Structure 1
């Protein structure tokens, strides 16, 4: 984790972990403001006030960089140049159920679907519902780890605004990908009590504060550094007649990942991509 003391000059990092989504923490009592610009703004340029706390902010337009400064007092920014494990493209996927439950299966897919489709022609009768299984490789996270934050970011390839997407942890210390073979085996995995909702908007990113979920997973019997962090993801709504309202996640994007930081200020390392 990299620390930088903000001052009255506009500042941006040259080594953000992502061009598209900026993950950082503001600490201190100073008055901090930010702006997006293609080059360092003039000193007289106005910014938007931002409070101390944890942030993940999506870039509004290509070519822009995030700039921050303090207008009074002192504040520090903490950010990671590489921050946490990617979601596996090889064993993550989605389960689907259609034809009133007569057509069900699980598919490992790099573009898993979440939600409902009442428009696409398939073997059975519509609507079809999709639920995703997302997993990291071995997370290199001990059961005693003291996390300051954990944020799951999904970059979407397809979505419509206004859908509520819910994330649970799958409550096992071992890789469950070999046990998930259809709709029922995914649905019947033990899930965390903790969950987090996010609503799709106009942009292609969904962010979930999953700290409570990950903390609950760390307490699972047998948890160790080789344990993967596994998620169950669903749309809490219902189908719309003749409409495809699925959110489709791009696991190939570097912006789809789980970002975590320990209370010591150290990032949880990225163990690499691929299956657990």
Structure 2
């Protein structure tokens, strides 16, 4: 770990023996003892947003490094909501958000990282991946699209790719939004019950839900194989949306603070400038 992890329910994956089943998706221990009570979280979240806005401006002004935030989750895990919360109050000019769906025919004609590399953040920017290069060791593995040898090679390729980004000044934070199967059922049902949310429901989500255990195993192995101090994986208990948002924002702000961002120097004397 390249920075001190703030006190949150988040779990840093730092072992090949890490067990996803040991992380409680409903954990909000350091935040509040009463579930779904946002009163304690809201003032802290506002404070963090203000600090994040200031740090983003420094990152943009320094223009030598970048931050990449990777979000992965099961269906209904809350990636869109987490992104909306995290980017509240930041300058959109300094943010890049990429959503990775099923690859196009053009993308399939290249290596699996080709489309990913093109979306990495520019210097001075915060990049957010809604799904990512990890899809190629998740859905492909669950549905038998790749064999174990290919999967192992993909793990190595991902580690090398993330090291390349790190070597070139990109700080990487990866978050798995961890919800329970019961919570997913509630969220899927809510989309069916509310006509204004029907458009969010995809019948294919039910087919993928049938592979829940396989996905949990695939996520666990991916995090075991591809978490490091330079590109850490964090499991975020995400049953409580406010707890999820607070944990992610705490970690992102801590990482930016640790980067010791600097104001750029200017090649003129501001005091000597006269505006008439």
TM-score (norm 2): 0.24
Identify which of structures 1 and 2 has the higher relative contact order when contacts are C-alpha pairs closer than 8 Å and 6+ apart. 2
More helix by share: 2
